[in-house]
């Protein structure tokens, strides 16, 4: 099975869906995962939109995890 996650290249933290106050960044064990590529793509777009209005900039990267 294939899982997708979003990681910030600057801090090494992972994206967790948050409703309301912008993205939340946590360790990998608590991060959000998706089974389709559209999920992290949409999350990266939200992060980039949030970067336009935030002093703290993020560099999101899509991570692919393959499981047997």
- Per-residue confidence in pLDDT tens, the chain, 68 aa: 999 999 999 999 999 988 777 678 999 999 999 999 999 999 999 899 989 988 889 999 999 999 88
Reading the block at residue 29, the tokens are 């064990």
What are the distances in angstroms from CA 49 to CA 28, 54, 64, 66?
Answer: 23, 9, 23, 29
- Tally of domains within the chain: 1
Whole-prediction pTM value? 0.87
Alpha-carbon span 24 to 31, nearest angstrom: 9
Alpha-carbon span 59 to 42, nearest angstrom: 15
DSSP designation for 2 = E
Whole-number pLDDT of residue 50: 87
Whole-number pLDDT of residue 36: 94
Whole-number pLDDT of residue 23: 74
Alpha-carbon span 22 to 37, nearest angstrom: 21
Whole-number pLDDT of residue 68: 84
């Amino acid at each position: 099975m294939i899982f997708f996650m979003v990681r910030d290249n600057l801090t090494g933290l992972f994206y967790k869906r948050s409703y309301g106050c912008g993205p939340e960044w946590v360790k990998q064990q608590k991060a959000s995962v998706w089974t389709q590529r559209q999920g992290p793509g949409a999350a990266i777009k939200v992060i980039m939109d949030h970067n336009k209005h935030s002093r703290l900039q993020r560099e999101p990267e899509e991570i692919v995890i393959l499981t047997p």
